[in-house]
Amino acid sequence: MEKQILDGRLVADSVKNSLKERVENLIKKGITPCLATILVGDDPSSETYVNMKGKACEKLGMKSIKIHLSKETSTEELLETIQKLNEDDTVHGILLQHPVPSQIDERKAFDAIDIRKDVDGVTSFGYGQTALGFGKFPSCTPAAIMKILDYYEIPIEGKHAVVIGRSPILGKPVSALLLNENATVTTCHSRTTNLAEIVKLADIVVAAVGKPNFIQGDWIKPGAVVLDAGYNKGNIGDVDYEACLVNSSAITPVPGGVGPVTISMLLKHTVDAAEESLKAN
């Protein structure tokens, strides 16, 4: 069977190229699209992610603001920080790096982000709009998965998509987006009793479970498309790549698959938000 390796770097480059002119036009009009990232605590991989996002902004001529709060930060202090960024007209997108320390009410913090600046797609309001089909900023990894399918012209309508995982920023929104594109969608999770059998039905498999090499090769129906949204320690995906490659018709690698596209979607959402702010003024 012919295989297609779904190269996320190509997709990300195409997204970023499409943003260049938009960023330039905004700058001409006196607006530099700006992403504010908030990091609470000293988790080294979170720091790496935040730095990557900041650099990606700058490379495109956008601005990034990094706010680093101590690991003792209270929910109230974090809410104040978010409120200030909500009110700051020069900030177009706000990203609160997940996870936050355990004393913080993460949901409350996410939901404090102004929906117009929720470029990372974490508010429950934004989730509702996305699931009902008119959200502006779906979570970035689900948006990246849809972008990859679109870029490689993989049909979705009428296909059976099986999503493994149901987190608020990954499994749930990607299920919703696939459903809105007319896939029949099954959402599986840790309590699913017959996972292998269900995955075997899938035309499109989305792994969003957070367990390294979890999806097995003999679960994949011949010809299925496999998208790996996992990012486990050591840059290992949720999919046993070599094994799943055998039956799949198309598959994303890790690294170089969903990850780079996720960051490009964050940039796109921030540019979208900056353009919207211009319209609003």
Catalytic residues: 53, 97, 120
**Exposure pattern of 198-215 as b/e (b: 16+ CB <10 Å)?**
bbbebbbbbbbbbebbbb
Look up residue 195 and give its two tokens. Answer: 């996972």
- Of 48, 84, 107, 235, the one binding a copy of itself (CB under 8 A) is 107
Look up residue 150 and give its two tokens. Answer: 């679109």
Cα(177)–Cα(251) distance, integer angstroms: 19
Q: Which is nearer to a copy of itself, 16 or 172 (CB)?
A: 172
Q: Per CB under 8 A, which of residues 176..235 are in contact with a copy of itself?
A: 176, 179, 182, 184-189, 191-194, 198
Shortest Å, Cβ 79 to a copy of itself: 18
Q: Which is nearer to a copy of itself, 8 or 126 (CB)?
A: 126
Residue 96 is classified by DSSP as: E
Beta bridge partners of 162: 186, 205
Segment lying near a copy of itself (by CB under 8 A), choices 60-68, 166-174, 217-225, 238-246: 166-174
Shortest Å, Cβ 125 to a copy of itself: 5
165 is in an annotated binding site: yes
Cα(141)–Cα(145) distance, integer angstroms: 6
Q: Per CB under 8 A, which of residues 71..100 are in contact with a copy of itself?
A: none
Shortest Å, Cβ 66 to a copy of itself: 28
Q: Which is nearer to a copy of itself, 6 or 122 (CB)?
A: 122
Shortest Å, Cβ 190 to a copy of itself: 8
158 is in an annotated binding site: no
167 is in an annotated binding site: yes
Segment lying near a copy of itself (by CB under 8 A), choices 38-46, 157-165, 211-219, 233-241: 157-165
Q: Is 27 exposed, middle or buried, given 0-12, 13-18 or 19+ CB atoms closer than 10 A?
A: middle
DSSP E strands in the chain: the ranges are 4-5, 34-40, 63-69, 93-96, 160-164, 184-188, 204-207, 225-228, 250-251
Q: Count residues contacting a copy of itself (CB under 8 A)?
A: 32
* Neighbour order of strands in the sheet with 93-96: 63-69, 34-40, 93-96
Residue 166 contacts a copy of itself per CB under 8 A: yes
Query: Residue 99 in contact with residue 119, Cβ under 8 Å?
Result: no
Query: Residue 276 in contact with residue 30, Cβ under 8 Å?
Result: no
Q: Which is nearer to a copy of itself, 186 or 249 (CB)?
A: 186
Residue 100 is classified by DSSP as: P
Q: Per CB under 8 A, which of residues 110..139 are in contact with a copy of itself?
A: 123-129, 131-132, 134
- Residue numbers of the site for a copy of itself (CB under 8 A)? 107, 123-129, 131-132, 134, 157-158, 160, 166, 168, 172, 175-176, 179, 182, 184-189, 191-194, 198
Binding-site residue numbers for NADP(+) are: 165-167
Binding-site residue numbers are: 165-167
